[in-house]
Amino acid sequence: MDQQQQRIGIMGGTFDPIHIGHLVTAETVRLAFNLDKVIFVPAGLPPNKQSASITSIRHRYIMTVMATYSNPYFFVSSIEMDRPGPSYTIDTIREFCALYGRKTEFFFITGSDAVTDLPTWKEVDSLLTICQFVVAARPGCSIAVDKAINYFDGMQRQRIHRFATKELEISSTDIRERVKKGFSIKYIVPESVENYILKEGLYANSK
């Protein structure tokens, strides 16, 4: 089968929980980079985190599906839910390359704090060859992010795009704290996600 030339955003994150900051960022990046679709990939086990400190992937996956279903350009993949061990981004992008073919261009979208240790990510040179990065950052400079990006030379650096977004004032950490304290999270997460969190009793006893 002849595979089409596509531009696909891969929205990688822990999404514990997903919130409107993630959704607005993904939609804004989709339009700015002329992407055909954005695939949300909840991290099974983020390589930088202890499994005990995060909510089960099943809950995070379900909330991500609920949050994205109304946007026809948004999709959710269970690729990292199904793969055991740490969720290395290189393994994920390679799986997508095999699925979509060589003509597809991939853009890995993630938060700025997540890339401060990008130079140490597994097979980072290969990763920057097979996909570009869109680093969603609050306006203003972050020395740690600049340092991580400047680690790479000209050609590789050109494949890392900073994307200023105000919506990331919202954070998953803040939402977990609010639930724990019994504060409202209305309008910070989609209604379906709010209802799911309350029904399942998520974050009520979070650390």
46 scored as a contact of ligand NAP (CB under 6 A)? yes
**Count of residues for the chain?**
207
- Considering only residues 138-177, where is the footprint of ligand NAP by CB under 6 A? 168, 171-173
DSSP three-state, residue 207: coil
Q: Which residue has the tokens 């339009």?
A: 31
Nearest distance from residue 181's CB to ligand NAP, in Å? Answer: 17
Choice from 8, 13, 81, 185 touching ligand NAP (CB under 6 A) = 13
Please list, in sequence order, all residues whose beta carbon lies within 8 angstroms of the beta carbon of residue 69, skipping any fewer than 6 positions away. Answer: none
Choice from 22, 30, 59, 60 touching ligand NAP (CB under 6 A) = 22
How far apart (Å, rounded) are the C-alpha atoms in residues 76 and 74? 7
202 scored as a contact of ligand NAP (CB under 6 A)? no
64 scored as a contact of ligand NAP (CB under 6 A)? no
- Considering only residues 87-116, where is the footprint of ligand NAP by CB under 6 A? 87-89, 109-111, 113-114
Question: Which H helix or E strand runs over 163?
Answer: strand 160-164
Interface contacts to ligand NAP, rule CB under 6 A: 11-14, 22, 25, 43, 46-49, 87-89, 109-111, 113-114, 121-122, 136, 168, 171-173
